[in-house]
Amino acid sequence: MAISMKEFKASKLYIISMMTITCLISASVRANTSNIGNTSITGNNDNEFYWPNGARAAVNLSYDDALNSQLDNAIPALNQYDFKGSFYLTLGSKVVKERREDWRTIAEQGHELGNHTINHACSASLPNRHWVDKHNDLDNKTMAQIKQEIIEANHLLNAIDGQTVRTFTLPCADAIVEGKNLLPEISRYFVGIKSHVAVIPTSMSTYNPMDAPVIAPSGTSGQALIEQVKLAAKNNSIVSFTFHGIGAEHLAVSTDAHQQLLDYLAKNKTSYWVDTYRNISLYIDKSRQTSH
């Protein structure tokens, strides 16, 4: 890890947790032709999934925890190529309050403001979780409390961006509250949920956008990031990057590595569909609906 334990503790926001959640759906992905916005869907079949405009993979660039370095470093890099990313805000962060207009501006530019709860509660009972504050320990919260917090976070996000459709990323990949799985309790409020860290999907046939895997880079080289998108293209699937700091702050990836990834995606625009997780989830859902 690229940060010290002291910084961890200070940040209270650490999202590497290797959870294997095997709640995968099996779905036929045959499609006729339909549209999501200006994105056309054509001809999916049972064995292959067809991304818009002949792309070989979908790429979602996400940024968790509402950090200054995301606004200062990631946004200019994304906007340079007109790439749209997803920014999962922890609404209780002072960076949301201090830079509310900046978050509003990026939403107007087409980036997604995603839900990452208000308080970012994580389970203190899991390994390496000594940094979790007692008052914010998921193990001491009720399902009703967490559900209410997530609904309120959607209201606060709506007050910033005016949107009613968005996606969610689970803080610390912790899905268990009061011994039960949180995801079914909140799925009705979102079109997509990222729930765990895992490898690139080997195909789209078992991909569930409501229980989706992410790659969570930290200190990763540009070349290693590029290898992940190449693997997604080889698998004709998807890669969701969950970044934190860009060039600064916790779990950082350098601005150079981030730029190298974006440069590669821009040079290979016909191969990769780069978009918000909101748009990608809507596309997958629509594609499956029209396949029957």
DSSP 253: B
Q: Which residue has the tokens 């981030």?
A: 258
Q: Which of 31, 52, 55, 65 binds Zn ion (CB under 5 A)?
A: 65
Give me the least distance between CB of 27 and Zn ion, in Å please: 29
Q: Does residue 175 belong to the site contacting Zn ion (CB under 5 A)?
A: no
Beta bridge partners of 286: none
Which stretches within the chain are classed as H helix? 5-11, 68-69, 75-80, 94-98, 100-108, 143-161, 183-186, 222-234, 255-267, 277-289
CB 127 within 8 A of CB 180: no
The residue number whose beta carbon is nearest to Zn ion equals 64
For residue 165, the one-letter residue type is V
Pairing, β 212-214 against β 192-197:
parallel
What's the min distance (Å) between Cβ of 218 and Zn ion?
12
Q: Which is nearer to Zn ion, 167 or 259 (CB)?
A: 167
Residue 62: CB minimum distance to Zn ion, A: 10
Identity of the residue, 171 or 247, whose beta carbon is nearer to Zn ion in the bound complex: 171
Q: Give the largest CA-CA distance in the chain.
A: 53
The four Cα atoms 13, 15, 21, 25 give a dihedral, to 10 degrees, of 90
Nearer to Zn ion, 15 or 118 (CB): 15
Alpha-carbon distances of 272 from 145, 189, 215, rounded to whole Å: 39, 28, 17
Shortest reach from residue 52's CB to Zn ion, in Å: 29
CA of residue 34 relative to chain centroid, distance:
25
CB nearer Zn ion, residue 65 or residue 275:
65
Out of 50, 52, 64, 117, the residue judged to bind Zn ion by CB under 5 A? 64
Q: Which stretch binds Zn ion (CB under 5 A): 57-65, 121-129, 220-228, 280-288?
A: 57-65
Piece in contact with Zn ion (CB under 5 A), picked from 14-22, 187-195, 203-211, 269-277: 14-22
Smallest distance, Zn ion to C-beta of residue 171, A: 5
Closer residue to Zn ion in complex, CB, 66/210 = 66
The encoded tokens of residue 58 equal 């979908």
- Closest residue by Cα to residue 243 from 265, 220, 226: 220
Minimum distance of Zn ion from residue 25's CB (angstroms): 25
Report the interface residues with Zn ion, using CB under 5 A. Answer: 13, 15, 64-65, 171
